[in-house]
Amino acid sequence: MKTISHRILEMLEDYQQHYHCQLRLVVNHQVLFNGFVGECISKLDGSLFKLEADSMILEELKTIQIALKPLFEMNQMDELLGAALKNSLSKHELQMLTQEVDGNFFVLVLIEGNTDLSHLQQLCEQLVEKKTLSAIVDQCVMMLMKAEETHKMKQQLMSMKDTLETELYTKVKMSVSEAFCNLEALPEMYECVKKYRRLCDQYNPSCEIAEKSIVWMLEIIDDLSEQKAKSLMKTMIHSDKLDLDEELITTVHCFLKNNLSISITARELYVHRNTLIYRLDKIASKTGLDIRCFEDALKLSLVLNLDKK
């Protein structure tokens, strides 16, 4: 898949072959495409770009300009979004961006994957039915999307994540901001989603979509001093070190994720029900916390995160 710039260049090459001419495209006084051999015969000056031809009549040149304009406008809005995230837009540019987006409430979505980011960006845009803006910033794709009801938003992002991973053959991480209505909040929301991702990478790497409702506890833990974290852990398990192997830790995470359901957890871990019960008993023996009880499950969830402090 191609970026908008690549698509513009390919379109110009196609027009050169179709009209048997040579074209030149100038953007911000820089030549972006130059097929010239001879001198310029026809020229069109626009606010976004200047288009020149060596043998083409003006009407044909206008046809190409009309075809190029939507791509340039799309590219310009994506560039404005990238600048807005870095808090480097003028008031006029922010107004342009606000007029372009459709909706009263928005969310900012951060998407990461070990793949070509231009490819990832274009596929993301194709998967979102409603109009959206996207930009590649700091080695990730940022999307400004219209906010939906919470459960619909989660379903949409999970479906999008599954498709991206299937199509790109790579794991994809997502983080989503709270809903906001003023695009002046974009820099703040950008810092929030980056923080959500950092917290999940440190404390809960298996988290599929990082969001406020998931990271609130991690934010509290992250603000604790190392001494305070050890003190809290000792209060709950009478030790400042968690003595659980990887198998038992995986069991805890899976059991908590499945709302303390023995049958669902056993099925997801591909173990017999009795094997799971044996593991839960072993966890209780080592920590003093029986996670079949909600209060103890909450404590051990906190302990697992404190142990990564």
Give the pLDDT mean for 127-143.
Answer: 84
Taking CA atoms, 31 is separated from 25, 63, 64, 238, in Å, by 6, 20, 17, 69
- Predicted pLDDT of residue 130: 64
pLDDT score for 179: 92
In this model, does residue 4 exceed pLDDT 60?
Answer: no
Can you tell me the distance from the alpha carbon of 115 to that of 1, in angstroms, rounded to the nearest whole number? 12
CB 77 within 8 A of CB 135: no
Mean pLDDT within 287-302: 94
Q: Does the pLDDT of residue 24 top 90, yes or no?
A: no
CATH superfamily, domain 101-210, is: Reverse transcriptase/Diguanylate cyclase domain (3.30.70.270)
Give the mean pLDDT of 218-223. 91
Dist CA 122 CA 141 (whole Å):
10
Give the residue, 293 or 22, on which the prediction is more confident: 293
State residue 1's pLDDT score.
36
The whole-number pLDDT of residue 191 equals 95
307, 233 in Cβ contact below 8 A?
Answer: yes
Q: What percent of the chain has pLDDT over 90?
A: 39
Name the token pair of 305. Answer: 């995160």
Measure the CA dihedral 286/287/290/292, to 10°: -90
Residue 288 has pLDDT above 50, yes or no: yes
Residue 220 has pLDDT above 80, yes or no: yes
Give pLDDT, residue 34.
Answer: 86
Please give the pLDDT value at position 101: 75
Q: Which of 4-8, 172-176, 274-278 is predicted with the least confidence, judged by mean pLDDT? A: 4-8
B/e letters for 221-255, b = 16+ CB within 10 Å, e = fewer, are: bbeeeeeebbebbeebbeeeebebeeebeebbebb
Domain ranges of the chain: 4-75, 101-210, 224-306
Q: What is the pLDDT of residues 238-273, one digit of tens each?
A: 887 888 999 999 999 999 989 999 999 999 999 999
Q: How high is the mean pLDDT of the chain?
A: 86
- CA 254-255-259 angle, 5° bins: 115
Q: What is the pLDDT of residue 92?
A: 80
Q: How sure is the predictor about 95, in pLDDT bands with cuts at 50, 70 and 90?
A: confident
What was the pLDDT predicted at 290? 95
**Is residue 2 predicted with pLDDT exceeding 50?**
no
Check residues 199 and 32 and name the one with the higher pLDDT: 199
Q: Higher confidence at residue 269 or residue 61?
A: 269
- Residues 153-210 have pLDDT tens digits of 888 899 999 999 999 999 999 999 999 988 999 999 999 999 999 999 998 888 889 9
Higher pLDDT, 178 or 119: 178
Q: Give the pair of three-digit tokens for residue 76.
A: 């310009």
Decide if domain 224-306 falls under CATH 1.10.10.2840: yes
